[in-house]
Amino acid sequence: MSAGELLGSYGRVKIVRGSSLPIYRVEGCADALELVKTLLGDEALEEIMYNGPAAGLRVYHRELGHCFVEPPASEEGMVRVIEYLLGEMGRGVEHPVVEGQLGDGSRVSVVLRPVAVDGPYFSVRKFPKKIITLGGLVRGGMLSGELAAFLWILVDGLGRRPANILIAGGTGTGKTTLLMALAQLIPPSLRVVVIEDTPELLIEHPNVIKLTTPPIGSPHRIEMQDLLKASLRLRPDRIIVGEVRGREAETLLTAMNTGHLGSMGTIHANNSHDAVKRLTSPPMDVPPSMLEALDIIITLGRVGGDRKVLEVAEVESAEQRGVRLNVLYRYDQTAGLAVKTGVPSAFISELLTATGMNMEKFLGLIHQRVNEIPR
């Protein structure tokens, strides 16, 4: 395959193979602002990034990954783009770091000089306009139908014992995507409270409350931990935290320990052991014994550019000396998916006891749900 080979074409866009990265080429653009407006309207893009004059403008395409953008735009043109983005967010240049949202929900981060040494910089994270379903993730190859059916049972708990779930992974591995898909499986009769730094979770549920912290540069100082504490007074049946980063982790684990079963969140970590280490280290500092309330850690990653579930582990036991994990599913290179490890599950045993179900019936239920996964 040689440079210049056409990889994709639609509208004004042609994507060709470059020497190192694909080149996302927009035809007929008069200036930088028109170029970026074209990028903002492309649903095939996940992120638009400007890393300063030297690096230029790049995009992350949902199918082709990182791409250079042509035609190149000048620094002056990018300054006008940043002014446009700030105006769309109703913000001014009152702070060198500005975060907010566009009208379509896209998340914007702008960093200006002197904080941006070689800047200015900006990033626009775009989110799918349609609801993410578990069936869609199965068809996309993130996980198998069997694992999807198992996660569905963990979320609804068969009406008796839903699991507390943490989704781990690096940037761009699909943590938010999987969280949105699992949230659609929460029974409609339950009250759900969603807490985020920036609203990005698209959750279609008849009884949902969404809380978010004020953006950087706002005169109001409200932290995730404050919102999480406030949510406990709203009588939630389920709590969803967009991303666990700081002291709110202990509050979330406290909620899990006091009966808020079925809570979910995401965390940046490479595997379940790293997730435990992050939770129990500064700035989160969750006492190891509190992790007893966390049932499942799902780890996502990229394999050959594709998002995959790499591991599903359960917290078998937790005490001050440490946390013991059982890996129930692990990514298999040959299968191209996470497969069962055969390790007995303490959580499944607890669920069977709570429902009075035997293992044969449980396995039959998983088989049945494979064919019923929401499309």
Give the CATH number for residue 176: 3.40.50.300
- Number of domains comprising the chain: 2
Q: Residue 52 maps to which CATH number? A: 3.30.450.370
Pick the range with the lowest mean pLDDT from 15-24, 77-86, 111-120, 296-305: 111-120
**What's the domain range around 56?**
6-125
Phi, psi of 116 (to 5 degrees): -80, 100
Domain presence at residue 209: yes
Q: Tell which of 75, 106, 125 closes a domain.
A: 125
Domain presence at residue 375: no
301 and 219 share one domain: yes
158 and 188 share one domain: yes
Percent of the chain having pLDDT more than 70?
A: 98
pLDDT at 217: 61
Q: Tell which of 100, 125, 150 closes a domain.
A: 125
Q: DSSP per residue over 23-90, as a string? A: EEEETT--SHHHHHHHHHT-TTEEEEEE--TTT-EEEEETTTEEEEEES---HHHHHHHHHHHHHHTT
Over residues 165-215, the pLDDT tens digits come to: 999 999 889 999 999 999 999 999 999 999 988 777 888 899 999 998 886
Q: Tell which of 125, 160, 182 closes a domain.
A: 125
Domain presence at residue 202: yes
Domain presence at residue 252: yes
DSSP 248: H
101 and 32 share one domain: yes
232 and 252 share one domain: yes
Residue 127 scores a pLDDT above 90:
no
Phi, psi of 168 (to 5 degrees): -110, 155
Residue 195: CA atoms inside 13 Å, Cβ hemisphere, count?
Answer: 29
Domain presence at residue 294: yes
The first and second tokens of residue 53, run together, are 């004059």
Name residue 88's amino acid. Answer: E
46 and 156 share one domain: no
Percent of the chain having pLDDT more than 90?
A: 67
296 and 230 share one domain: yes
